[in-house]
Chains A and B, each alone.
Chain A
Amino acid sequence: MRARAPGSEEDVATRPAKAGKPAEARPGHLRVVTGEEYADWDGVYRDNIDRVYRLLFGKVGNRADAEDLTTEVFLSALRPLRLPASAGEVRAYLYATARTVLARYWQRRLGQPVTGLPADVEAAGLGPELESAAPEQAEAILAALPERYRRILQLRFLDACSVAEAAAAMGITVANAKVLQHRALRRAAGLAED
C-alpha cells in the first residue's frame, strides 16, 4: 500500500474535486478528511510523482530524460509552493511547470517543439487518475497503417525487438527491415515515403 501524507486519507485524497459526491454525502464521518488539500511538500510529492513522471515520459519516450525533467519540475515547483494548498491548485501548478520544462527541453534538444502539453489542464487529463495518452495515440497511429508498416513499428517500438529480431519475425532481411521501418515511420508521421 502506498504511504500517505499525514492528514490525507487513502484514495479519498485523490478524488477529483468535480466528482465530489462522497464528500457531500459524508455526514457524521469519523475521520477528518483533508483530502482536497496538501499539508506539506511530502504529500505533494507522494501524490504526484507518479503522474508527473508518466506525463513527461509520454512526451519524451525515454527514461533518462523523463527522470531529469521530473526532477526539474519538482525542484523548481516545490520551493516556492505555499502550503497548505488545495490539490487542484497544486496540480495545476505542477502541470504548468511541466509544460514550461518540456517546452525548454525540446528547444534545447531539437530546436523544435516536438511534443507539448496543451494549456488546458482538464484537456490534458491531469486528473487524479492520469494515464499517459501514448497507448491510445500509438494505437491510432498503427491502426491507420498498412499491415507490414504496422508490424515493423509494433515489433521495433512496442515489442522492443532489435532490427535483426524484427527482420526474423517478418521473414525479411535486416536491410529490408531497416528500409521498411524508415518508410513506415515516415508514413506514420504523415510524410511522403521518399
Chain B
Amino acid sequence: MRGIERYIQDLLSGRRPRAFRASPDEAALARTAVTLRAARPGSAAPAAEFVAGLHERLAAELAAAQPEPEVPARPRRAFMRAATAAACAAGVAGAAGAGLDHLISAPGAAPGPQADGVIVPDQGSWQAVLASADLPDGAVHPFTLATLAGFVQRTGGRLRAVSGICTHQGCRLVLAESTAELDCPCHGAVFALDGAVIRHRLSVRLTALPRIEVRESGGVVQVYAPPPPPARPAAPGR
C-alpha cells in the first residue's frame, strides 16, 4: 500500500499514522484528511485518564518542592465522547446523518454561540440577582433581568451562572429540581447546570449554554449584564 493510503487508513481507524516521505500532493491529501478527521464530533477533547496521567507525570518531574496537588477534576467536555459511538449507525440508518445536516445546512449563517463561551457584553455592569443568604451551598436559582435570563448556583463554595436560554431556538429553560438539570420545554433538550449539553433528539449540533460572569459583593449575588433598555418616555400629547 502506498504511504498516503496507509496514512489515511490509519487516521480513519484511530491508529497512530505511520511515517512516510510525502510529496507535496500527498501532504495536501494528508492535510485534508486530518482536518476532516479532527472534525469528527466528540473526538476533540482529551481523555480524562490522559489529563490525570500527564498531571501525575508533571508533578513527579516538576513539583518536588510543591504541595501534592489534587487529582484534576473531570474534564468539562468528557460528556461529548459518549455521543460518538452511535454516529455511524445513524448515518447508515438512512438520512444523510445528523452530522451532515449540521455541516451543510447553513454554510453562510453566522455560527451559534461557542460552546463554553462566556457572555461579556460590550456595555455591562454588575447587577444584583438575589441575596447571598438566599443561595446556600448546593442551591440553584433562576434569575431574570431586563437583558439576561439564567441560573445562578453555588457549588462547593463557588458561584457559577449560565444562560437560561436554549441554544437551539431560544426557549426558556426550566430547572428540573429532581434531576438538577435544565430542560427545554420546546424540544426536550437537556443541559447540565454547568451548561453542557446532556442529551437532545435534534438533528443539529447544540452548543453548550454560555456562562455569565457572577460575583458576590456586599451580601448580594451579582451578574455582569448589559444595561436595561432606557425607559420609554411618555408619548407627548397623550
Contacts and interface: CB of A to CB of B under 8 A. Distances in A.
B107 A139 contact: yes
B89 to A, nearest CB: 9
Main secondary structure of the interface of A (DSSP, over half): helix
A158 B36 contact: yes
A85 interface: no
Question: Which of B12, B26, B45 has the largest count of A CB atoms less than 10 A from its CB?
Answer: B12
Given A110-B30, A160-B40, A138 B159 contact: no
A132 B116 CA distance: 13
A109 B54 contact: no
Contacts of B159: 10
A153 B103 CA distance: 12
A111 B7 CA distance: 13
Contact of A78 (B21, B62, B116, B158): B62
B149 interface: no
Interface string A144-178: 00000011011111111110011011000000000
B46 A49 contact: yes
B100 A3 contact: no
Contacts of B73: 1-3
Interface in A81-131: 108-115, 128-129, 131
B15 interface: yes
A157 B36 contact: yes
A151 B218 CA distance: 58
Contacts of B111: 136
A61 B33 contact: yes
Interface residues on B, range: 35 or more
Nearest to B3: A110
Contacts of A66: 46
Interface in B3-50: 7-8, 10-12, 14-17, 19-41, 43-47, 50
B76 A50 contact: yes
Interface stretch (B166-174, B179-187, B208-216, B228-236): B208-216
Interface string A1-39: 111100001111011100101100110111100000000
B27 A114 contact: yes
B44 A21 contact: no
B154 to A, nearest CB: 11
Contacts of B211: 11
B12 A156 contact: yes
A127 to B, nearest CB: 10
A166 to B, nearest CB: 8
The 10 closest A-B pairs by CB, nearest first: A138-B39, A61-B34, A134-B38, A157-B36, A112-B27, A159-B91, A61-B37, A64-B16, A53-B46, A110-B22
